[in-house]
């Protein structure tokens, strides 16, 4: 049986993975020439990507206890998940990397993105999808191991 916190962790990981998957699918079909305007659903997804990257950037600055809010907790959580994509980067380099990705996401809205930029954004979300998928698998496997041990006793 899952504890409430493990179930919440699993749920968040799966939701993040599904979001990243939607982004990767959208980017793989994106018209780099800008001849096809974004539809309403695509505009909403790009808005979510920009908001997501903004939350990751807010998580760079770990809040102190008096500044701790629900939004800051979410930002720190997203930052820590996103950081697994580039673990060899120091904090400043990772912050710059996320800013670059945010700038690229802005270019999607304007339909002025290069193939190199599109590849960079796609690579990040593929790696993020894999990282959160691995996290969900760890939570699930932890449960299976506990159950296996309980059967042995």
Q: Where are the domains of the chain?
A: 4-152
DSSP class of residue 87? T
Cα–Cα nearest to 81, from 3, 11, 13, 4 = 13
DSSP class of residue 64? P
Residue showing tokens 């990282």? 131
Residues in CB range of 136: below 8 A, 6 or more apart: 10, 13, 14, 17
Q: Are 127 and 88 in contact (CB under 8 A)?
A: no
Q: Is 37 helix (H, G, I), strand (E, B) or coil?
A: coil
- pLDDT category at 18 given cuts 50, 70, 90 is confident
Q: What is the pTM of this model?
A: 0.76
Cα–Cα nearest to 86, from 32, 139, 34, 127 = 127
pLDDT tens sequence across 26-76: 999 887 777 788 899 999 999 999 999 998 888 877 655 556 555 666 677
pLDDT tens sequence across 89-138: 888 998 999 999 999 999 998 878 899 999 999 999 999 888 887 766 66
Q: Are 55 and 74 in contact (CB under 8 A)?
A: yes
Give the count of beta carbons closer than 10 Å to the beta carbon of residue 67: 9
Give the sign of the dihedral formed by CA 97, CA 109, CA 46, CA 123: negative
């Amino acid at each position: 049986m899952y504890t409430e916190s493990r179930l919440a962790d699993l749920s968040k990981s799966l939701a993040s993975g599904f979001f990243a998957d939607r982004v990767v699918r959208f980017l793989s079909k994106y018209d780099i020439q800008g001849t096809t305007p974004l539809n309403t659903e695509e505009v909403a997804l790009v808005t979510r990507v920009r908001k997501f990257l903004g939350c990751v950037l807010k998580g760079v600055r770990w809040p102190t206890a008096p500044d701790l809010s629900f939004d800051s907790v979410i930002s720190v959580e997203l930052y820590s998940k996103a950081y697994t994509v580039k673990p060899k980067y120091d904090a400043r380099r990772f912050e710059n990397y996320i800013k670059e990705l945010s700038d690229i996401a802005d270019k999607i809205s304007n339909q002025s993105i290069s193939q190199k930029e599109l590849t960079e954004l796609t690579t990040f979300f593929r790696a993020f999808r894999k990282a959160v998928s691995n996290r969900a698998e760890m939570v699930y496997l932890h449960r299976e191991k506990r159950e296996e041990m309980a059967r042995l006793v």
